[in-house]
Amino acid sequence: MKKYFVILFLLFCSALILIAATTLGSVSIPVKNTFWILLNKFPFLSVEGTWPQAQELIITQVRLPRVLIAMIVGGALGLSGAVMQGLFRNPMADPSIIGATSGGALGAVLSIYLGWAANYFYALPATAFLGALTATFLVYVIASEHGKTPVDLLLLSGIAVGGLAVSLTAFILSLALHNWEIARQIIFWTMGGLDGRSWPHVKMAYPIIVPASCLIFAYAQDLNIMLFGEESAHGLGVPVVWTRRILLVLTALISGVSVSVSGAIGFVGLVIPHIMRFVIGPDHKILLPASFLAGACFLPLADLVCRTLIRPEELRLGVVTAFVGGPFFIYLLIKRKREGKA
């Protein structure tokens, strides 16, 4: 019962955060007006109000799409981390640590540099997905040993593949310095951020991430069984190899699409599943949706800090998440070191 209460609580929090994140900003808007403006956008709930037209434009055309992108990206990254940690049976697994985020950013940067992103609407998410998928499989192939993925090999492989992707991204940036607009866009992807996100980005991300996430939820029971080892999973009828491949493709897909609309944002997939696992336990039937919802709550709050902390300037979202996730990752390493000595 407690587990389902957590899900309901996260749903309630996501609704409150949606209202708060669209209310707060450089222009002050009353909470009451925000609530009625948002409610007015639901089908069959049209209401007449007396709010200023300027406030409605700010909420519906500037803040709301940005908050919705933050929620879907945070959810996708939280879910990706939960899947990878269960898939590798490794608490250190995360889209950024194992190179998927860097690979996705490399794909997006390449698309920008070659002009594909400007000419084809889905070129950016497609190349980001291919980059994330390539990096994920490279790390998996390098780190896996007899069906297992030791934590030291996983971390070293992720560092190597992620470092290579970052180096290639920097190389492309150096080639693009003569064109400041392209160079500026590349810098955006490497640091992560949601400024300038609009409804076309929402239409790009949601139709891909939501169905892929629902497919991932369908594999929750298989992930639970795989926690007991490959032999046990085989004995219980789980096609381990195909399940692992499908989940890797799906997590690379949602991570890549997330990178394509937000840039490289790290550590969300590491921190969120750990917190949720501590609160509700390791059952993936609850852990996966909880990680998605918790990520959808966390990233809009982090973006709100970016928008309001040093107004009128704006922090980069990837910097804020790194400030949270970096110390948390160090804590996990120290904890595992102590457990290894025990």
Residue 173 is inside which H or E element, if any? helix 151-176
Distance CA 247, CA 282 (A): 18
Look at residue 342 in the predicted model and tell me its pLDDT.
Answer: 43
Q: Give percent of the chain with pLDDT exceeding 70.
A: 94
pLDDT tens, position by position, 281-328: 889 999 999 999 999 999 999 999 888 887 777 788 888 888 888 888
| Count of domains observed in the chain | 1
2-23 vs 268-280: helix crossing angle, rounded to 10 = 140
Q: What is the pLDDT of residues 46-77, one digit of tens each?
A: 666 677 888 889 998 889 999 999 999 999 99
Q: How far apart are the first and last CA of the chain?
A: 35
Contacts of 74 (CB under 8 A, 6+ apart): 268, 272, 295, 296, 297, 298, 299, 300, 302
**Unique residue bearing structure tokens 């804020």:** 320
Quote the pLDDT of residue 151.
63
Length of the chain: 342
pTM above 0.85, yes or no: yes
Domain coverage including residue 194 = 2-341
pLDDT at 147: 64
Report the C-alpha gap between 147 and 94 in whole angstroms.
19
Q: Determine the residue type at 321.
A: T
Q: Hey, CA dihedral for 18, 76, 62, 189, is it positive or negative? A: positive
Query: Residue 148 forms beta bridges with which residues?
Result: 145
Q: For position 130, which CATH number holds?
A: 1.10.3470.10
Q: Can you give the pLDDT at residue 144?
A: 77
Low-confidence residues of the chain: pLDDT under 50: 341-342
